[in-house]
Amino acid sequence: MILHRRLKIIFNIFNISISVLVLLGYVQFSQFALANNITYKKMASNNRFELYVNEKYGYIKVLDKKTNTAWLSNPENWRDDPIAAGSMRTQLASQMVLKYAFMESYTVQTVNSYAGSAMKKGLKIKKIKDGFIATYTFKKEGFIIPLSVTINSDYVNVDILVNQIKELKKDKYRLVSIQLLPFFGAGSIKESGYIVVPDGSGAVINFNNKKGNEEYSQRVYGPDYALVREHNVYVTQYARLPVFGLKKGNVGYLAVITEGDSKSIINAYTSGSRTSYNQVFSEFIVREQDSITFKEKQWNEETFNIFENNIPSQTKYSVRYYFLNKDKSDYVAMAEKYREYLIKEKGLKKNNQDQLPVYIELYGGVKKIKYIVGVPRNITIPLTTFKDAQEIVKEVKNLGIKDVVVKYTGWYDNGVFYNLPVNLDPEGVLGGRNELQKMLNYFSQNKTKVYFDVDFVTFRKGSLFYPINVVATKSMKKVPTKLVRYSPATCYPDDDYPVLFMLSPNYVGRFVKSAIPSKLNFTKNISISSISKMLYSDFGTRQINRLQTEKIFEQIVGYIKNRHYNLLLTEPNGYLITNASEIVDIPIYSSKFAIEDYEIPFYQMVLRGYIPYSTPSVNDYSSEWLWKLKVLESGSYIKFTWTARNEDELKETICDYLYSSNYKLWLDDLKKVYKELYPVLSKIKNKKFLEHRLLKEGLVLVKFEGGTEIIINYTSTDQRVYNTVVKARNFKVIE
């Protein structure tokens, strides 16, 4: 009797231990045994693909008949991973990982689809045309999330059906984000390959690079400026394209985020710390979150998370996986595939140019507080008058430079970053309307194109009819959002920098239609720098999320194009690229995150041969030899940012970063660089990239249409390649 009781107690303890292990994610025994013999059901097929799903656990398999490759949503032997532990192990078997807010403590928690839904019999599969819908029910949290997977002629489409998401326990749990197919196509620790991410110009993360403790995580199109930015994070570049890629062996894919791109984050990890796999995937934000700090007494502070109330009224978040041909699956092929997508889906057109332009950005005027007879006055300081602009172009042309394109910033009333774009009258201290017309006449006679930049987003001063509290975008705290500059030295806000506000997207279109065409009838060339690269929400009374702002900005740019204006875009986000006549400030570097192995000119590979583009202003770089080599590697034209006068007045202004911008300092450099680089750029004019290879660290081969090859040596020693010597920190052209 006593023995029987002891055996019963031991058995109960054993059962409890198993339950605890299951809850913690250490799912073993019978649950794993069920996964040993994975069965798939065919749900759709066409000439290119066969689509399968495991109805119990949601595993997806795509058979690419063209390459005879099976692409899996989850590693089939995930349960044997020697590194993954706890919930990380069950993430290997998941198609989604959810982050949600626990509203009792305002903390963010995580659950995955394997442990939270499939293992609790919460997964239902329904066959539809060309695929299936998998509906995941997370019983504890009360979430119901449908996922649609379909095949097309050359891609697989995966949709999160946002408008069908249900939150049955919203008072307690609220969805924050969804990581979609986090291990789709993941490469194991035994496989060779790499991941491509859109960081700046683009970057490559090699499989198994012994950086498993590092991560790549970037929000597509940069931060939402209506939210508080983390002060201790200093990022040099943003992800401007909604794409990522993976190459494994001799096959690969390019993923394009086609819906919900402005609410997405791209994440990547390599093997070694979390799991034995190399992965890249998209995460979609369902609710934005911010933080608010309360002060208790004098020194005590407590910070809480705050979240959006509602899910966006978006139909779906979508990712297309384009599978690449065997032995043509590198990052050049990925760029070609994205360009093909832009041509077919977004109307990208080839813009052949006879010119070989040098781009020059001129700053007109800037506001500064000056003391006159002891009284502080806010006056406009002229940096480049309209007459100065003529003189600058004349001197540049005298250097033998035929093609000059000018971007004129701060040309209208009160100069840069000050007024709302209400009147757009040429600034008086720059010469007013008469001198502006003389400048236009001169440029026309000398075949010089000038784009007039109008800032339809940022401003410092409201007006009687448009006060800041009414027209500025609001934060989650319902106050006007302030754009602050962060000090590179401290990573904290720079208190000496003037505060900027952003115009609510509700008002941007109004100002654009007021200005175009009536107030800009003297030109057909417009630059819209801030609209090009800034994307943000408005949490005010008439709330607008980033998805809606993206649509508004697309419509605005379409409105301008339909009135037959040429558009100069500045480092544009992907959704605006196809509207550009020309583009400036395309990044030539990545952020160099620790997980990245080397940077590539992915952005330029997409554009080259279709839209002319330039580097960022080269007078911002300290290492001349480096940016010159980057010009050739990326196939970019060069750009300078110049002023003509009063650079000694820039201190304590919003343009204090222009301290070395006087054009006279740079004319000799321009002459030398033009003579050295532009004969090479002439050979590859309007030519696409055919090949880009890292021969070894610091040594790059670039090949363009027509057969021109450039070998670029970033190392400090001479290098022998193809029976030729490339000098240190130099290049060699092979034809």
Q: Return the amino acid letter for 212.
A: G
Element spanning 692, H or E? strand 689-696
Distance (Å, whole) CA 377 – CA 712: 53
Per-residue pLDDT, 491: 66
CB atoms within 10 A of CB 168: 13
Q: How many helices (H) does the chain have, and how many strands (E)?
A: 14, 43
Residues constituting the chain? 735
Angle (nearest 5°) at CA 418 between 665 and 475: 120
Backbone CA torsion sign across 178, 181, 183, 185: negative
Nearest to 692 by CA among 706, 676, 711, 679: 711
Tens of pLDDT, residues 495-519: 677 889 999 999 999 999 999 999 9
687-735 under CATH 2.60.40, yes or no: yes
535 CB-near residues (< 8 Å, 6+ apart): 221, 222, 224, 225, 262, 546, 549, 550, 553, 573
Pair 237, 200: CB distance under 8 Å: yes
Q: Which two tokens stand for residue 719?
A: 């290098």
Please identify every stretch of the chain with a pLDDT value under 70, giving residue numbers as ranges: 1-36, 229-235, 295-299, 487-491, 495
Distance (Å, whole) CA 274 – CA 211: 11
Tens of pLDDT, residues 140-152: 999 999 999 999 9
Cis status, amide bond into 376, omega within 30 of 0: no
Distance (Å, whole) CA 522 – CA 351: 24
Q: Which two tokens stand for residue 132?
A: 């299936």
359-457+504-678 topology per CATH:
TIM Barrel (3.20.20)
Domain ranges of the chain: 1-34, 42-190+280-329, 359-457+504-678, 687-735
Q: Which two tokens stand for residue 435?
A: 């001198």
| DSSP state letters, 469-496 | HHHB-B-TTSSB-EE-PBPTTTSSB-TT
Give how far Cα 118 sits from Cα of 40, 136, 306, Å.
15, 7, 30
CB atoms within 10 A of CB 121: 10
Distance (Å, whole) CA 694 – CA 713: 10
Decide: helix, strand or coil at residue 366. Answer: strand
Per-residue pLDDT, 10: 38
State the angle between helix axes of 624-634 and 667-683 in degrees (0 to 180), rounded to the nearest 10: 30
Per-residue pLDDT, 488: 61
Per-residue pLDDT, 580: 97
Surface-to-core class of residue 297, CB atoms within 10 Å of its CB (0-12 exposed, 13-18 middle, 19+ buried):
exposed
Per-residue pLDDT, 499: 87
Decide: helix, strand or coil at residue 141. Answer: coil
Per-residue pLDDT, 356: 96
What is the b/e burial string over 515-535, where b = at least 16 CB atoms within 10 angstroms of the residue's CB?
bbeebbeebebbbbbbbbbbb
Nearest to 224 by CA among 153, 143, 312: 312
Distance (Å, whole) CA 735 – CA 733: 7
The predicted model scores a pTM of 0.92
Per-residue pLDDT, 34: 38
Per-residue pLDDT, 231: 57
Per-residue pLDDT, 21: 38
Distance (Å, whole) CA 119 – CA 155: 30
Decide: helix, strand or coil at residue 280. Answer: strand
Nearest to 302 by CA among 311, 289, 310, 293: 293
517 CB-near residues (< 8 Å, 6+ apart): 563
Look up residue 37 and give its DSSP letter.
S
Distance (Å, whole) CA 199 – CA 204: 9
